[in-house]
Structure 1
């Protein structure tokens, strides 16, 4: 058995309460007594049971993070940023993958009460509205992504439509005339794809361009192979595009592979823009122009909102009374070689 407070107290010749005061940092302990207790702690190798202390205070120090797909670089980088933000508060993060499946998402929300979880950060794809109300005895939740707006919990997201429009406007400003979109989806849950398609269409309209439906390529998933296949279909058109806006960076990287394989120069023949600013895009050939959604800011904001809910509940028991908050995080367009070329992008 590891040494406990009683063992330290016996070794130091003091009461268990005195040992507890030293361990918890209370100032009203005589210096010589504190020194004896600290010496006994070092000799015995005593370590405070942080988990038990947190449970006595009504907290486990553990939060859950549920994401659709951990192999996606965007979600992997988001998970890493959330873990880093949580570590600053001495929280442990349990990570789960839902695959964007309704049953997995529903089961996740329903089973929280069986775990010692202080809160949940959740990026749903299938569920919406009241389906996301957790039956967890008041466990607070922060939602990420585009699936739910003005829902039952605090929500952090970017303005996808505005961000997509800015990306397409960049291509228009470069004088590109036939701008394609890669990433359209028809599924009811494909909210991200619909918002980015809306931004693409809005930017073309603002530039006085007539959108050609043939230049909108649908995909099943947002993966590299889907982008490569969609780009091949676009190049087989009688009048192929001279620019492509891809709804995420993986689609863009796949599209660039097809362009290079077919003998097209990027950006000389076809300019390419992605979305998400994953690390891979900084090292692709050419480097990828993309929309940065501010993953670190999303992570910090989500953790801060969760912490505020926990602090409010501990203070006033008003966790479920405070209205849900909507927080939009700023995005930015990161211009690189895939639209400006190597020399121009370096000057930019």
Structure 2
């Protein structure tokens, strides 16, 4: 295995110079740093985490909890965090969570070991396991991706789900939809969502806000409960179409659900967007290549990752006395073929 001493010998510099160059220390000239990094890459040099930890009490590892890593959106979130960490010369360790799982002793023991290995942790805030994971993490700095939680007082990076969904619903209203199904939500009234505490609450509240701003009756919205998967969205959409339900706009709470719904509409020879316009949420890349391509609201996940790593590394580097900080990230509407029709 190549060592830092080997790189120093090949480059004709001191071990200290190699160490500083690999840490992007500004005292090393750019040309020298580049030459050292090129040699390290060519020689397949790997950082000795044990040595690094003994030297500065850090491993250079950021932990992250993830749900459903096999689905496009969580995979995209995780990928952006990995890229943002790489830009800071940090490695990432993913720990997959199972929604609504019972936290077994073995599971929690594994998490405790993971948290001890990491310098800091990015925690998914929508987990039923959150309380146990937080308390087992000891003094390891943590950050929430999701809605702020006063109980823990952690830094948070949040997507404005209410404003995203308001934008998506507003787009369907703008193109002339007069009867809209929202697939994936159990709500039947605005009062149920008024608290706006969870992702689902906030998205439902945004739908009602769009109706208010467009001066249309919110009763035009029908909320349909559905698991957030392609399979269940396909099944539920077939049921709606076969039951004779009449609507001209469909808003799916995720792009993944929209993919299943589009297949069901194709199976029943429903024209999109002429008969039913379809809108998604999340902005996954796969939506661009569907037929028809999927309109969506895309959060800026690169910004989310950068903000998360910035806040977390500040905590790791000694910012324990800072008050909890909260950042909302940006988003944008992307209109594609699934809503590309003239207003009635």
Structure 1 length normalisation: TM-score? 0.78
Partner of 2:182: 181
Distance 2:4 2:168 in 1: 60
Distance 1:46 1:276 in 2: 37
Q: 1:213 to 1:57 in 2, by over 3 A?
A: same
Structure 1 residue runs of 5 or longer lacking an equivalent are 12-17, 28-37
Distance 1:201 1:8 in 2: 62
Partner of 2:158: 157
* SS of alignment partner, residue 237 of structure 2: helix
Distance 2:85 2:4 in 1: 29
Distance 1:209 1:97 in 2: 42
Structure with bigger gyration radius: 1
Q: CA deviation at 1:326?
A: 1.1
For the 8 Å contact 2:177–2:249, the answer to whether it is kept is yes
Q: CA deviation at 1:107?
A: 2.4
Aligned length: 314
Partner of 2:301: 295
For the 8 Å contact 1:246–1:252, the answer to whether it is kept is yes
Distance 2:16 2:300 in 1: 43
| Alpha-carbon RMSD | 3.7
For the 8 Å contact 1:150–1:326, the answer to whether it is kept is no
Please say if 1:193 is aligned against 2:192: no
Q: Which residue among 252, 264, 268 is the counterpart of 2:270?
A: 264
Partner of 1:202: 209
For the 8 Å contact 1:2–1:46, the answer to whether it is kept is yes
Please say if 1:170 is aligned against 2:171: yes
Q: CA deviation at 1:202?
A: 2.2
For the 8 Å contact 2:148–2:156, the answer to whether it is kept is no
Structure 2 length normalisation: TM-score? 0.79
Partner of 1:247: 253
Distance 2:305 2:109 in 1: 20
Distance 2:178 2:331 in 1: 25
Q: 1:95 to 1:114 in 2, by over 3 A?
A: closer
Partner of 1:61: 60
Distance 1:139 1:266 in 2: 50
Structure 2 residue runs of 5 or longer lacking an equivalent are 26-35, 188-192
Q: CA deviation at 1:310?
A: 1.5
Q: Which residue among 220, 231, 234 is the counterpart of 1:228?
A: 234
Distance 1:209 1:48 in 2: 60
* SS of alignment partner, residue 275 of structure 1: coil
